[in-house]
């Protein structure tokens, strides 16, 4: 409880971009010590390290969590090799994870990225629940003045589509407060089956809404990656999974706080 209060205080003293720099530094120190205390050394693939060096300043994830994304995309590619597939990400932030997905996904994959991108901060704040204590009070996350300052989601989309077009694939970013999207945008993503889902909305209600939305839209053997599942300041995510009675025996909890589920 004491550490949770300290972590929450840090979140209020520093803006979101500063928090990410602190998290990255502490994570590098912590996982670096793994070698000395547990005699564990991970040899990261060169392509992952090259990608990480380019995205770390955009990422809301640390290196370990992003490595999970990288590995799961590789597994996804094997499972659905030779097939046309669709990937959806709820909570794109500044595109760290999305860049990893786009760089390493197989050919013939359409990607949909859903986020407010700072334009719907008031709606997000209004829907903060009793289970999202870190986000209550004056703290206003995900705004154009904080996390999305000097960020252009259209520019990001164009950059990634230059990569994806070579793989006969395409990215479409959808701006809005999910599930209250414009009708044509909601209809588009509603009539699709998904092979990979990345869920990173941080909060209780959006996590509930996402699981309800994807429940009947999953390919057989689809992978669902839930970020922040065991994070003490995003406890609404775990509460949502618990309230939905999701079968955890069909999933894996990672040491870096994520939950991996399989359909």
Give the position of tokens 């909601």: 186
Task: Give the CATH fold of the 2-262 domain.
Answer: Rossmann fold (3.40.50)
Q: Which residues contact 200 (CB under 8 A, 6 or more apart)?
A: 60, 89, 90, 91, 92, 93, 97, 226, 227, 228
End-to-end Cα distance, the chain: 34
Average pLDDT over residues 33-47: 88
Q: Could you give the CA distance from residue 56 to residue 99 in angstroms, rounded to a whole number? A: 10
pLDDT digits (tens, 9 = 90+) for 121-156: 889 988 899 999 888 887 777 888 888 988 999 999
pLDDT of residue 61 exceeding 60, the answer is: yes
Return the DSSP state at 93: T
142: left (phi over 0), alpha (psi -120 to 50) or beta: left
- Which pLDDT value is given to residue 180? 94
Q: Where are the domains of the chain?
A: 2-262
CA-closest candidate to residue 40, choices 50, 49, 30, 48: 30
Q: Could you give the CA distance from residue 73 to residue 105 in angstroms, rounded to a whole number? A: 6
Burial class (CB in 10 A: 0-12, 13-18, 19+), 97: buried
pLDDT of residue 90 exceeding 60, the answer is: yes
Q: Answer yes or no: pTM beyond 0.75.
A: yes
CA-closest candidate to residue 190, choices 201, 199, 181, 202: 181
C-alpha distances (whole Å) from 201 to each of 1, 86, 140, 214 are 23, 19, 15, 14
Q: Which two tokens stand for residue 209?
A: 């809404």
């Amino acid at each position: 409880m004491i550490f949770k209060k300290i972590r929450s205080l840090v979140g209020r003293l520093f803006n979101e971009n500063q928090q990410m720099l602190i998290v990255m530094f502490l994570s590098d120190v912590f996982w670096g010590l793994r070698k000395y205390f547990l005699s564990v050394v991970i040899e990261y693939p060169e392509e992952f390290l090259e990608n990480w060096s380019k995205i770390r300043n955009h990422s809301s994830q640390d290196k370990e969590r992003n490595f999970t994304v990288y590995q799961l995309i590789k597994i996804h590619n094997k499972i659905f090799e030779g097939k046309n597939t669709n990937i959806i990400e709820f909570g794109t932030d500044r595109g760290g994870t999305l860049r990893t997905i786009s760089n390493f996904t197989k050919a013939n994959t359409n990607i949909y990225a859903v986020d407010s991108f700072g334009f719907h901060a008031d709606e997000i704040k209004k829907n903060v629940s009793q289970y999202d204590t870190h986000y209550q009070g004056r703290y206003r996350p995900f705004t154009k003045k904080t996390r999305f300052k000097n960020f252009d989601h259209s520019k990001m989309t164009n950059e990634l589509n230059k990569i994806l077009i070579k793989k006969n694939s395409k990215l479409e970013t959808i701006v809005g407060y999910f599930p209250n999207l414009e009708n044509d945008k909601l209809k588009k993503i509603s009539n699709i089956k998904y092979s990979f889902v990345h869920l990173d909305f941080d909060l209780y209600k959006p996590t509930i809404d996402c699981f309800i939305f994807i429940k009947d839209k999953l390919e057989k053997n689809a992978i669902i990656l839930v970020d922040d599942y065991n994070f003490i300041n995003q406890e609404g995510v775990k509460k949502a999974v618990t309230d939905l009675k999701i079968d955890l025996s069909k999933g894996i909890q990672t040491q870096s706080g994520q939950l991996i589920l399989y359909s």
